[in-house]
Amino acid sequence: MRKTGSDGKLLPEMILVCQALRNVLRGPNEWLRCAALRLLARVHEEGLLEPLVPSVLECLDHRKAVVRRAAVLAVDAVASLPADASRGRRGGAALVPDAPLVLRAFLDGEDDPAARRAGLAALSRTDPAAARSLVADAAREAAEGRGEGLLAWPEGLQLAALAVVAGGGWGGRGHGAGADGSDDRAERMQARGGGGVRAREGNPCFPVTGCRPR
């Protein structure tokens, strides 16, 4: 389906679609919001996405965790769009220029484990150094006795943190991801007897205090 005309601008009907999606993203029905957010996570047309980015970011503060999970996955997808000068595509960095700051603030205030796991995966793709720093700070907090830090993280989030430290990131989208953006690898690892994330000698992000969940 064509979305742009010969001049590269959105077709009039696509403008109407954009307006309809904006109304859904700001509407009272959280399930319709989730459906719209999942749709936008699969859209690559920057002209359609750009006017909707503010509405997507507003969903990160929604009272329902299911909406926040869908929103962080949409932010991840948009921020990860590649730039292509030959096609006039600026990429996700232009659409969500402050994505690392937005994701870090989201993680600082989020309490839903699945949403935090998706947010950490998104941060590891947009700013790997910031993701590693967040994990290291949580581990240091536990090691220095200033709080439970990493010890209090749910097991799935600990596994995501381990993937961040290892440099591979966490799937979140695509391979291994569930319909709600959750990654089933944590469950598969637990079924094989993986248990919680264990401390490793010489790893600054996982001090030798043990990081098994309570």
Note the pLDDT tens digit of each residue in 32-77: 999 999 999 998 888 889 999 999 999 999 999 999 999 999 999 9
- Residue 161 has a pLDDT of 87
pTM: 0.72
E strand or H helix at 125 = helix 113-126
pLDDT band at 206 (very low <50, low <70, confident <90, very high): very low
The pLDDT, as a whole number, for residue 166 is 82
Ordered by start, the domain boundaries in the chain are 1-97, 100-214
Cβ atoms within 10 A of the Cβ of 185, count? 18
Q: Assess contact for 150 and 206: CB atoms under 8 A.
A: yes
Q: What is the pLDDT of residue 173?
A: 47
Residue indicated by tokens 């290892």: 166
According to the model, what pLDDT value does residue 32 have? 96
- Residue 140 has, within 13 A of its CA and on its CB side, a CA count of 7
Distance of alpha carbon 183 from alpha carbon 120, whole angstroms: 12
Cα torsion angle, 82, 85, 89, 90, sign: positive
Percent of the chain with pLDDT over 90: 39
Residue of 86 and 210 predicted with greater confidence? 86
**Quick one: CA torsion of 163, 169, 170, 174, rounded to 10 degrees?**
-150
Tens-digit pLDDT profile for residues 99-128: 999 999 999 889 899 999 999 999 999 999
Lowest-confidence range among 61-65, 139-143, 144-148?
Answer: 144-148
CA 20 to CA 75: how far, in whole Å? Answer: 19
CA distance 106 to 123: 10
pLDDT at 168 over 60: no
By residue count, the chain amounts to 214
The answer on pLDDT for 177 being more than 50 is no
> Distance of alpha carbon 136 from its chain centroid, rounded?
19
* Residue 103 neighbours by CB under 8 Å, 6+ apart: 72, 75, 119, 122, 123, 126, 127
pLDDT of amino acid 213: 41
Mean pLDDT of 171-196: 43
